[in-house]
Amino acid sequence: MSAGGGGAFSSRGTRFVAGSSTPASTSTRVYTVPTIEATSVSFGGIGAAEIDVTKLSDQWKQFVLGTTDIGTMEVGGFVKNSTAIPIPSSGSATPQAMCLIFGTDASRGVGDENGNLRVDVWAYLVGVSVEAAVDQAVSLTLTFRLTDGISVYTRNAGDTAWVRIREVGRTFDDLTPT
Amino acid sequence: MAISSYASQFTTGAGSIIGEITAISFSGITAAEIDVTQLSDTTKKYVLGTADGGTIEVSCNTTNAVIALPTSGNASPTSFVIRFGPQGTVSTPSVLATFTAYISNTSVEASVDQQVTTTYTLRLTGAITMSTSTTV
């Protein structure tokens, strides 16, 4: 990986993190870490509605964009020993904040993360699948419905904190990952 | 740490599965996503509706016992407890799923050079409870 975060980087070390900070707004925000030994994380697709505004006189289709939908996030992994499997909460109207750091080599520690990427999202747990089979670990897939907004950060060599480079929708207060 | 599927089984519930279980699959415990986006919003907003336990597929080697079938008009679901992994201890509690369900589908397969297999589909109804135990 090149300095400044310009190169590809490994998924190794990718992790959800808890955090501590005092929310600047009145909204309650607790960063949640999935109770799973994660082996994969997948964003289903952040998309914006395509609105067809083509007129009869047009030769080519013309579009404008509508509302952005952050989509879903799927987290696959193993059921953790001694930890109950999470389930969706009916009627919940309070999404949980989640912070995902891609590719950080945890052994290097926070503050030595050269060009890493961090994504904060608001999410509800909406789907749980569990599989047990002969000679396999008990595996689990959690599906999160992302709502409200998303923030993207980078942290390059020399940065003393995460730098927010993109934010859509509902904002996050700065988090100190732990 | 991760747990092996070894020794996973239906345990203390009233219901049991007839056959030698080879795989258990929760198809998906879900909650309805209700779109509450307003015209003034720039991103989609959601709240959650009713949770649905979904179905569980249990694959078995068929034994000499009578294969269980769905019961028409049944309105009395059976309680089940699935334990993932071996029996729990104080130092390593087991992971449990407790729920009530109906057998909604039974399929049997026999083919050349294969054992006879049965697949049961359980339709979960009502709440599902995930927990840990040091004794089950």
Chain A contacts of B97, Cβ < 8 Å?
85, 130
**Percent of chain A predicted with pLDDT > 70:** 76
In-domain check, residue B79: yes
**Do the Cβ atoms of B85 and B95 come closer than 8 Å?**
yes
Among A residues 51-80, those touching chain B with beta carbons less than 8 Å apart:
67-70, 78-80
Burial class (CB in 10 A: 0-12, 13-18, 19+), B18: middle
Q: pLDDT tens digits for A31-54?
A: 778 888 889 999 888 888 889 999
pLDDT value of residue A173? 62
Interface test with B, best of A131, A139, A144 (most B CBs within 10 A): A131
Closest listed residue to residue A85, CA positions, set A93, A94, A70, A75: A75
> What value does the mean pLDDT take over residues A103-132?
74
In-domain check, residue B97: yes
Q: Which residues of B touch A (CB under 8 A)?
A: 1-6, 8, 22-31, 33, 37, 41-51, 84-85, 92-93, 95-97, 128, 130-132
In-domain check, residue B2: no
pLDDT band of A26, cuts 50, 70, 90: very low
pLDDT value of residue B1? 85
CB–CB contact B85 A143 (8 Å): no
Residue ranges of chain B with per-residue pLDDT less than 50: none
Output the furthest CA–CA distance in chain A (Å, rounded): 65
Task: State the total domains in chain B.
Answer: 1
In-domain check, residue B110: yes
Dist. CA A79–CA B43, nearest whole Å: 33
Retrieve residue A166's tokens.
């993109």
Instruction: Provide ipTM, 2 decimals.
Output: 0.73
Q: pLDDT tens digits for B1-25?
A: 888 998 898 987 787 888 899 999 9
In-domain check, residue B107: yes
Which residues form the domain of B67?
A: 9-35+44-133
* Other CB atoms within 10 A of residue B61 CB: 13
Chain A contacts of B3, Cβ < 8 Å?
78-81, 137-138
Indicate the pTM of the whole model: 0.80
pLDDT value of residue B58? 95
pLDDT value of residue A42? 92
